[in-house]
Chain A
């Protein structure tokens, strides 16, 4: 990570803003890391580098956040386990919030919210 000219958070967001969803991977223990760090949180090694995320994952847990219709209605918040073995909070979109369930296979894309790029998921089999 010696080539970073910013902290890892901005470096990650800058790639995301260009449409690239990246993870870190540790050169010492080979495990993937999310969210971005300075040292590997698994083994402590200073050997993290950016790798493209597969974008494939499984819903680990799910909640429907209730919101009044006039404020935009209910929405999904999920924890998604990526196939690389890391977990992230996100939303599964394109289906009704109550249709998102634990164990559902999901695919990442880079979306926009409030002028900022973010990782969102859809479920290929159940898209509207």
Chain B
């Protein structure tokens, strides 16, 4: 697949506001209330009111008619609505349609928003998985009882280890690096000390992945606001420009994935870098959706930060930890910061906060370019965003 995205779109839209709400363990909130809390903060952060919002992008893990409920709950009348549900990559994939809508004049301010009470809800992850077997059947996989999603990622990890000699210790490096970043983030869910040996000795879920190779299950809401670049300059926050965005999907089921060591990130990343006119060497901080430790290796390779098969070596010896050669998942990621069902929006928000210099102890000095990458399903959909400060225009 070749995406030839109009280069004039580069930097034409900016993120003017971004916020999270209710992240961690927050009993007593619904998905919608967590979304609304984040939306309220993001719109205020942008210096706007909810009545200024005339475009909406949102998706839900459970509700199929979610955008209508969000419109009603927030009291908005959007002329642009995108409810595309690609799993966890959705809120990065929403960038391109939102940019096109803004550039066409269809709307002037797009709110991208998400909330999940997955940790605290009475309707929990186990019940969601059971319901999905009926509502969204996979008749050629479900009879074999893989634990989805972990077993799908385990199959990818096993194949990566077989083909490239990747080790469980290298996978564990990803979890340990995430924890070290989380220890610099006061809002991260799990900041307890974690060693490589702790990861290796943790309870095995689906070989070769232990519970420490798997993301957390937390509550949380996240939202951001997009406006045209010329308007962003007049709003209170430093604009974060969208330099590139690409989305790709090659399959839904892990059994339909052609090569379990190569994801559609190859396409989404190529499109995003081409639009941005940048290469991986130009990226100063990367937020890569780490639902499982293998994800980070696959995305480092498929985005071109290292060659295929060299992801394990790339992360060794603290390569992506604080002080390493590339800062990755500086909030602690899905593995240690939190993972409210679909994490993509939180990867993007951390990239925005790094570019705005708001990250305190975990701030990377002088960041002008950041990459946020979302993954959805079982290595199914991929969306890559490249963001930059005004200096990169």
Contacts and interface: CB of A to CB of B under 8 A. Distances in A.
A9 B147 CA distance: 23
Interface of B: 139-141, 143-147, 151, 154-156, 158-159, 162, 203-208, 253-256, 260
A89 B140 contact: yes
Contacts of A118: 143-144
A63 interface: yes
Contacts, number: 71
Contacts of B207: 62-64, 66, 98
Nearest to B147: A65
B162 A64 contact: no
B143 A61 contact: no
A89 B140 CA distance: 7
Contacts of B208: 63
A75 interface: yes
20 contacts: A35-B139, A35-B140, A60-B159, A61-B155, A62-B155, A63-B154, A63-B206, A65-B151, A65-B206, A66-B207, A77-B145, A77-B146, A77-B155, A77-B206, A79-B155, A88-B140, A88-B255, A89-B253, A102-B158, A103-B162
A116 interface: yes
A116 B143 CA distance: 9
A41 B272 CA distance: 27
A113 B162 contact: no
Contacts of B159: 60-61, 102
A66 B204 contact: yes
A105 interface: no
Contacts of B205: 66
A98 B158 CA distance: 12
B139 A9 contact: yes
A109 interface: no
A90 interface: yes
Contacts of B206: 63-66, 77
Contacts of A60: 159, 260
A87 B206 CA distance: 20
A77 B158 contact: no
Interface string A85-110: 00111110000001000110000000
A79 B254 contact: yes
Contacts of A34: 140
B143 A77 contact: no
Given A79-B254, A87-B255, A62 B143 contact: no
A63 B155 contact: yes
B220 to A, nearest CB: 28
Given A61-B156, A63-B207, A66-B204, A89 B147 contact: no
Contacts of B203: 66
Interface in A46-87: 60-66, 75, 77, 79, 87
Nearest to B161: A102
Contacts of B146: 63, 65, 77, 89
